[in-house]
Chains A and B, each alone.
Chain A
Amino acid sequence: MNGDFLGHQPELSLSEKLWQINWKLILLLTAIASIGWAMLYSAANGSVDPWASRQAVRFGAGICVMVVVGLIDLRIWLRLSYPIYGVALVLLIAVEIVGEIGMGAQRWIDLGIIQIQPSEIMKIAIVLALARYFHAASLEEVGRPTFLIVPLLMVLAPVGLVMKQPDLGTALMVMMVGGAIFFLVGVRLWKFAVVIAGGAGSIPVAWQFLHDYQKNRVLIFLNPENDPLGAGYHITQSKIALGSGGVAGKGYMMGSQSHLNFLPEKQTDFIFTMLAEELGMIGGTGLLLLYSLLIAYGVIISLRCRNQFGRLVGLGVSTNLFLYVFINIAMVMGLIPVVGIPLPLISYGGTAMLTVLFGFGLVMSVYIHRDIRITRRTLAGEL
């Protein structure tokens, strides 16, 4: 196999890689994150404390992580795919056990300096593992149902664990990212139809396993006016904030709903509401446009990649971002039930930001190593 027919060296020196750092990607991410800082500044009533400053520091650290991840050879990521997935799964189980010891929903593992949220790691790990699995798979192989059993288990195992935490939003995301990759590699559409039908059929059974508050959320989503001061309060107030923002918004830092605490969790899950209240539909669609650019850019980078693993990783990460954005915004607008999914790069919080930046680090790696050929020997362990 001659991988040099386009004149590219498959092996890149560090300086060549540094040249390849994708500044457009960093610029786009920074643009979105800046909006996040502005909103966190507003959420704190015009103060960088406590949110905007810490978020900026995290972003800076996250960008460094991203660049480092980007510089690491894609083939190394390929080889680390299963181990990372394995670690993530073990951590999820560990959380489950610690969670049993602790009380209620436990999602974090405290390592002293930092707290790790294994379900967040899983969002990336599942992409890597599935990309690794489908990397060498031909269309014929993908067409065989038995071939799909392993990746299906790869998805369902973490979904089950996350669901048990319980973290409906993350379980949903892992499931959908998995589904997206299945879709991308060419699994027949009718198979999806069967699974979806089966899933729908099992809803009554699954309902039994839901916690009361989860049932409540779904019920309230279906009819928020039923409980205007209780659990439905959040979504009602969020809609009021959005609606009263109008086209041009109430003005930066002038959102009455958010600043008077009618809006819950305005610095985390409901930050888009505050943005749309203060900056209006113009601000809201503007942000969506930025996200769309980021996602599209990720897709373009992916499709330019000359190996399947890179393509799948890039598309998986982009899909991941899309899911974050869509689920969060659809939730605050009352389109879907309230699930705990942050708005990437904007909501206050470290883990989600790290996940996203790590993911885009992988996308950058895909970009830098777009011409790398991944051979059987590579899979065997040679670069």
Chain B
Amino acid sequence: MERDTDRYRSLTRRALMLGGMQVGLLSTLVARMYYLQVLESDRYTVLADENRINMRLLAPSRGQVLDRFGVPLAVNQQNFRVVMVSEQARKIDRMLSLISEIVPLTEADWRRITREIQRKRAFVPVTVKENLTWDQVTMIEVNAPDLPGVSIEVGELRSYPYEAATAHFLGYVGAVSESELNGDPVLALPGFRIGKSGMEKFHDASLRGVAGTSQLEVNAVGRVIRELSRQEGKPGRDITLTVDIGLQQYAQDRLKEEKSAAAVVMDVHTGGIYSMASNPSYDPNLFTTGINAETWEDLLSDPTTPLTNKVVAGQYAPGSTFKMLVALAALDSGIVGPRHTVFCPGHMDLGDHRFHCWKKGGHGTLDLVGALKHSCDTFFYDLARRIGIDRIHDMAKRFGMGQRTQLDLPSERPGLIPSREWKQANLGKSWTQGESLIAAIGQGYVLATPLQLAVMLSRLVNGGFAVKPHLTKQIERGPAEQTAWPSLGVNKTHLDMVLQGMNAVMNQPGGTAYKMRIAEAGFEMGGKTGTSQVRRITMAERSTGVLKNEQLPWRQRDHALFVGFAPLHAPRYACAVIVEHGGGGSAVAAPIARDILLEVQRRDSARGVPQVSSAVPAAEPVQPAPGDKPGRIGG
């Protein structure tokens, strides 16, 4: 028993020591817990959050573009794509062949899908095919039980319901290129598209919107478990244009009869562009889904430049449509009085050079109105000889020529109004008087875009106010259209004389466009024809007789131009038309302008759109010109 007592004491002592060691070791655990969970807790909390939280950007919905009456021109269509999660689909090949019975898959699709499946993790959806039709979507949904792991995802695709009719001013959207990445993370989103041209480009910042974010909880292998929080982005703002899509379609269709042509209609008071048509055009939807190289090459190499918006980027010698400005410059200078007359024998000699009028036999004696009516070149040669290029240059500049009109559309070109300084600076030669004569009939160095012609005409007929053109009516509830334009300070009676001339062109027998007049009461128009030479007519050719346009190859034929306004007595609409290599302005361009002007008036009166803007003083009615007595004007 003695023995056991010793042993027991020893055991107890040792047991207590062992217990002490255990307490010590357990304390180590508590200390470690304290270190990890108290001292280092913040660090590990960050690490844990980094582990589990994955931020994703939510692409904002792109704003719509609407026409002046709210008709959508650029919309977002739901874009359905079929995706497959390979881990759920299991037998990939079988699944793909099942899908291909509904959505045809090409050889290349198969290769791409198999490659993507190998690259991605098994739970990451792989896009099988994009741009599904609604039928295909329903077929897939109906067959869902047989297609495990296959599902439909909805995205947005920019769509232009009016296709070619709106391509030139709306532009299109496309994938973001390397150089366009500016650090905005939304641009880096797969499939994100930005405005590449036209209004889509000009208003891209407004249309784009603000990306939302989604905080996703992901597990160790990156599979999304749930959404922790979601901050919705702001959809892009809608943009309302001044364009009337009905008129636009009409104009575009009307131009299709010509090989290459452009037409623009603007409000002479507000500057709003109602229609801007350029033919040929292209389908902007092709660019959204990705254009193929062949189509792109075709568009680029086409001599009729379908990718160019000729209204703003086509620069043409304005021809006789320029004569109004020369007339104004002359009257304004005071050198030439309103009763100034010129005898036209069919040409004018300056030095040893002979300048020909378009009418070989001559017009006889004409005053200013008559000269505009008949578009007599000699009369304007005479004016140019008297006033010189500087006055013409100044007046043209005041009316918006030779400079960008500051239209809210990219790719506008400035045209050209030559001056002494310009020639010296650019050609290193001094100006010659002969060049002034050529410039006076809108030839030579003078270049204008159809838009500039429309602006020029608008300023002529709105009473001499410096209206500027624009396409954007409103950005959502943003600033509305501006209407109070500064005055150009042009003498009203001089303007009236010019208007009388343009009235006579259309509405007097013998006027160059008399055949193209609008007879419908209240819708009458005024205008001016223009035919601009593309090639140089040699003395030799002139002696043997100038070749008719029909005898020439297309590229050498004259451009046909026309500027017109309506209604005659309270001008509201200005229209400029160019038919590239179309021949005579009166025969080719005038009827187009007439049809468009008639269309816009009919459309607006049918809609009850007020015909005179109260915010802007209207141009004085052209001298009493009852439709039945046109003879009194410009006689």
Nearest B residue to A335 via CB reads B32
- Are the CB atoms of B30 and A256 closer together than 8 Å? no
Picked from A241, A262, A311, A322, the residue with its CB within 8 Å of the CB of B22 is: A322
Whether a CB of chain A sits under 8 angstroms from the CB of B19 is yes
Chain B residues with CB under 8 Å of A295's CB are 19, 22
Chain A residues with CB under 8 Å of B217's CB are 256, 260
- Are the CB atoms of A184 and B29 closer together than 8 Å? no
A245 to B45, CA, bound (A): 8
Whether a CB of chain B sits under 8 angstroms from the CB of A281 is yes
- Are the CB atoms of B219 and A139 closer together than 8 Å? no
Whether a CB of chain B sits under 8 angstroms from the CB of A242 is yes
Whether a CB of chain A sits under 8 angstroms from the CB of B3 is yes
Picked from B14, B33, B225, the residue with its CB within 8 Å of the CB of A276 is: B33
- Are the CB atoms of A243 and B15 closer together than 8 Å? no
Picked from B23, B43, B218, the residue with its CB within 8 Å of the CB of A243 is: B43
- With contacts A260-B218, A302-B15 taken as known, whether A244 is within 8 angstroms of B30 at the C-beta atoms is no
Whether a CB of chain A sits under 8 angstroms from the CB of B7 is yes
- Which residues of A115-166 have CB atoms within 8 Å of chain B's CB atoms? 138-139
Whether a CB of chain A sits under 8 angstroms from the CB of B540 is no
A284 to B36, CA, bound (A): 12
Whether a CB of chain A sits under 8 angstroms from the CB of B107 is no
- Are the CB atoms of B19 and A296 closer together than 8 Å? yes
Interface size of B in residues (CB-CB distance below 8 Å): 42
- Are the CB atoms of A257 and B48 closer together than 8 Å? yes
Whether a CB of chain B sits under 8 angstroms from the CB of A329 is yes
The A-B contact count (CB < 8 A) is 141
Nearest A residue to B39 via CB reads A243
Whether a CB of chain B sits under 8 angstroms from the CB of A180 is yes
- Are the CB atoms of A276 and B10 closer together than 8 Å? no
B8, B15, B32, B41 — most chain A CB neighbours (10 Å): B15
* Per-position binary interface string of chain B over residues 4-25, scored 1 when its CB falls under 8 Å from any chain A CB and 0 otherwise: 1011101110110111001101
* Per-position binary interface string of chain B over residues 27-45, scored 1 when its CB falls under 8 Å from any chain A CB and 0 otherwise: 0111011101110110111
Picked from A240, A261, A299, A315, the residue with its CB within 8 Å of the CB of B44 is: A240
B3, B14, B37 — most chain A CB neighbours (10 Å): B37
Picked from B14, B28, B38, B41, the residue with its CB within 8 Å of the CB of A186 is: B14
- Are the CB atoms of A183 and B14 closer together than 8 Å? yes
A247 to B44, CA, bound (A): 13
Chain A residues with CB under 8 Å of B18's CB are 180, 183-184, 315, 319
- With contacts A261-B221, A299-B15, A302-B15 taken as known, whether A326 is within 8 angstroms of B29 at the C-beta atoms is yes
Chain A residues with CB under 8 Å of B25's CB are 322, 326, 330
A281 to B8, CA, bound (A): 38
Q: Chain B nearest CB: distance from A295 CB in Å?
A: 7
Whether a CB of chain B sits under 8 angstroms from the CB of A280 is yes
Chain B residues with CB under 8 Å of A288's CB are 26, 29-30
- Are the CB atoms of B7 and A186 closer together than 8 Å? yes
11 contacts between A and B (CB under 8 A): A184-B11, A240-B47, A243-B44, A245-B41, A260-B217, A261-B219, A262-B52, A281-B37, A285-B30, A299-B15, A315-B11
Give the A-binding residues of B (Cβ under 8 A): 3-4, 6-8, 10-12, 14-15, 17-19, 22-23, 25-26, 28-30, 32-34, 36-38, 40-41, 43-45, 47-49, 51-52, 217-221, 225
